[in-house]
Amino acid sequence: MECLPIEMIIQVLSYMSKEDLKVVGFISSEYRSLVLPFLFRRIRFRSYVAVTQDLPRLITCLQNNVKLSSAVRVLDLELIWSTQDPSEDLRRLVEITTKWEELILPAGDNLPLAVFDDNNKSQLRRLHLAGGFVGVKFRQLLVDILPTCTNLVNLHIPDLEDDWFKTSDPAGSATATWVNRLRKYRGPSFPLSYLRGGAPLYQLTSTTAVSPPMLQQLGQLVGQQLVALYVHIYWTGDLSSIGENYLPPSTVSSLFPNLQYVGWFPVMSQRESVPHDPVRNNLAPTSLLITHIHGIAQPKSSGDEGILDANEVLLATQQLHHLRQVWLVSHHRGESLPEPVSTFVQGVQKMSLPYLHAICLWTPFSYPSSRAFRKAGVESANDEFHTKWTCEKDVSLLPAFD
């Protein structure tokens, strides 16, 4: 590899696991400097014990090694509130790791706001505020600090009621400032009402219900550029209310023609298949879901006006020509797939969408609990060519989009 350009070696290293990178770093002093940026790009504490015991050693290590401290780009400090002095600990980490771009912090009232000074506000590009008790200090962050973070393009905030925004920022001027800078946003839908034309937003995950008029407005403002969209479906327990919280699937392709990842259609096979709160709450925090389907629809009957027909969803999916991955949920029980679910999967496979490469099916109440149908080339039969699909069972189906 000594004859390879450095850029090519870095590209090869980027595909290695952390364990393999550690081995390369240990056995080759020449490659060690190339491995370090991958190993120390993200600092994360996985437990309360780790953050309290290992943080002092980490700070000392970073202070004594400029190569390590300059490699850090992400400070994942969601658990830092458990230390004795979180503000001071965070301040020291921010000062030592001078090239960080992303912060993951707790959203509680003990959030150490002192780190957001004039020097590092412009450095912040991605901010993830994990859920917690939201109080006065958090309000100060959204209203006073976010508008001054001029390079912030990726924001993740907890669910907040509309009245909270109306009270904290009555004129909406602060919210309008930061929301129109974002490229990626995950949070409540209310700030989207201040979105203007020309906003660079192209990934959106709304953790609260979005009204049809707001969705229409989103389509007009950012519909052409949006490639990833997850709309939270708010369900009160009444099936007839489901259809009130989203636009018909037939409008998706016209409003958002370039979607690659979409979480949209609540399709239910029967009343018992409607997900309970724990299931819905477990799915909602994931990044950007992909065609989120609760089971498969049976023919409509009286009183089930809120249930979408599976054919309608198939038609809408077929019109999303850039779709790369379909992600759906079925709440059936048993080892074998029921006919409606199998028929739906086959329907998606027959669409021949050019970019579609995987259909991920999660079945939380059956075994196996997951299946992934993936394209595996082309096969011929009777002088006709067909796309070949393979099925993997019990694989990770965490929907995410980077």
Split the chain (402 residues) into runs of 10 and give each run's mean pLDDT.
72 79 79 82 81 84 89 89 82 90 82 72 90 70 86 91 86 94 93 94 87 88 89 52 53 80 52 34 26 36 40 71 74 76 83 81 81 83 78 73 48
pTM exceeds 0.75, yes or no: no
Contact 259, 318 (CB under 8 A): no
Give the per-residue pLDDT at 50.
Answer: 74
User: Is 22 part of a structural domain of the chain?
Assistant: yes
Helix, strand, coil tally for the chain in percent (to 5):
40, 20, 45
Range of the domain at 34: 1-39
Give the per-residue pLDDT at 250.
Answer: 64
Contact 288, 399 (CB under 8 A): yes
Distance CA 142, CA 227 (A): 26
Segment 1-23, tens digit of pLDDT? 567 777 787 777 877 877 888 88
Give the per-residue pLDDT at 2.
Answer: 61
Residue 106 DSSP class? E
User: Is 135 part of a structural domain of the chain?
Assistant: no
Torsion of CA 349, 263, 236, 130, to 10 degrees: 140
User: Is 8 part of a structural domain of the chain?
Assistant: yes
Interacting residues of 268 by C-beta distance below 8 A, sequence separation 6+: 239, 242, 274, 294, 295, 297, 307
User: Is 56 part of a structural domain of the chain?
Assistant: no
Residue 334 DSSP class? S
Torsion of CA 100, 106, 111, 112, to 10 degrees: -30
Segment 277-314, tens digit of pLDDT? 323 322 222 222 333 333 333 333 333 333 345 666 67
Overall number of domains in the chain: 1
Q: What pairs with residue 102 in β-bridges?
A: 74, 126
User: Is 181 part of a structural domain of the chain?
Assistant: no
CB atoms within 10 A of CB 336: 9
Give the per-residue pLDDT at 272.
Answer: 36
User: Is 327 part of a structural domain of the chain?
Assistant: no
For 170-309, where are the alpha helices, taking DSSP H only? 173-179, 212-222, 252-255, 277-283
Give the per-residue pLDDT at 312.
Answer: 64
Strand order in the sheet with 228-232: 42-44, 74-76, 102-106, 126-130, 154-156, 184-187, 203-209, 228-232, 261-263
Give the per-residue pLDDT at 32.
Answer: 80
Interacting residues of 136 by C-beta distance below 8 A, sequence separation 6+: 109
User: Is 26 part of a structural domain of the chain?
Assistant: yes
Distance CA 208, CA 215 (A): 13
Give the per-residue pLDDT at 351.
Answer: 81
User: Is 351 part of a structural domain of the chain?
Assistant: no
Give the per-residue pLDDT at 74.
Answer: 94
Give the per-residue pLDDT at 221.
Answer: 95
DSSP per-residue string spanning 110-144: T--GGG--HHHHTT--EEEEE-----HHHHHIIII
Identify the three-state secondary structure at position 383: coil
Give the per-residue pLDDT at 98.
Answer: 87
